[in-house]
Amino acid sequence: MLKIIIPLAGSSEIFHKAGFPYPKPLVEIKGKPMIEWVIEKTSSITIPNQIVFVIKDEDATKYHLDNTLKLLSPNCEIVKIKNETKGGLCSVLMTIDKIDNDDSILILNSDQIIQKDLSEFNSYWLDKKADVGVVTFKSVHPRWSYILTDGENVIQTAEKNPISNRAIAGYYYFNSAKLFFECAFQTIINDVQSDGMFFISPVINEFILRNKKVNFYEIENKDYHSFYSPKLITEFENYN
């Protein structure tokens, strides 16, 4: 089964300061919570799948985020954590008890819209027999993670460092959950951090070191929308 992991345990501070009282996943875009947009995109995936969310216990207690998620994705699993983790990778590792070794994994950012049919990506990874797959867009800004390529293969990733003009669009596919967790723990053992945090993209370098096949699928910038700031929500609502 494909387990779709969506971490929702990050900070909402920038949105609170801008006057949004609710956690970032519940900030509305065109009348729908941000996380609803993300969940709706997963509905195009045709292979058997289940979403696993990672949320703050406080957001469940105070804002009933868990109930919202169950309404939007009735078959989901929810992992609640009491404190903020040291980055997205650590949040993903909290799902390990919900994942079987023979599952495949798709990790999605919770604050983005990819305006493509996600099943198209899955078909591409299967066709390429990829061990890892990432979706990319064009950028050179150091806020993103990046890949370096040789033909259709990824040969290196870098977090917050533009080693090419191919930025990762918050979509990470791993064919083997067992191997993902092995490589993820090795990344932490190696202390591969960026600004004191552990991220997903360095895990891919562990796959590359093990001679695994890593591919990418490039989309047009107009098909990728990230909402890391309130301003970007306003721009999306005004022009889409």
pLDDT digits (tens, 9 = 90+) for 118-155: 999 999 999 999 999 999 999 999 999 999 999 999 99
Distance CA 172, CA 58 (A): 27
The pLDDT of residue 15 is 80
159-171: average pLDDT: 98
Please report, for residues 24, 64, 126, 148, 154, the alpha-carbon distance to residue 201 in angstroms, rounded to integers and kept in the order given: 23, 31, 20, 12, 12
Given CATH 3.40.50.720, say whether it is the number of domain 2-239. Answer: no
Where does residue 211 rank: exposed (0-12), middle (13-18), buried (19+ CB within 10 A)? exposed
Question: Model pTM greater than 0.75?
Answer: yes
Which tens digits make up the pLDDT trace of 20-42? 788 999 999 999 999 999 999 99
Which tens digits make up the pLDDT trace of 183-226? 999 999 999 999 999 999 999 999 999 999 999 999 999 999 99
